[in-house]
Chain A
Amino acid sequence: GQQVQQSPASLVLQEGENAELQCNFSSTATQLQWFYQSPGGSLVSLLSNPSGTKHTGRLTSTTVTKERRSSLHISSSQTTDSGTYLCALITGNTGKLIFGLGTTLQVQP
Chain B
Amino acid sequence: EPEVTQTPSHQVTQMGQEVILRCVPISNHLYFYWYRQILGQKVEFLVSFYNNEISEKSEIFDDQFSVERPDGSNFTLKIRSTKLEDSAMYFCASSTGTGEQFFGPGTRLTVL
A and B interact: no
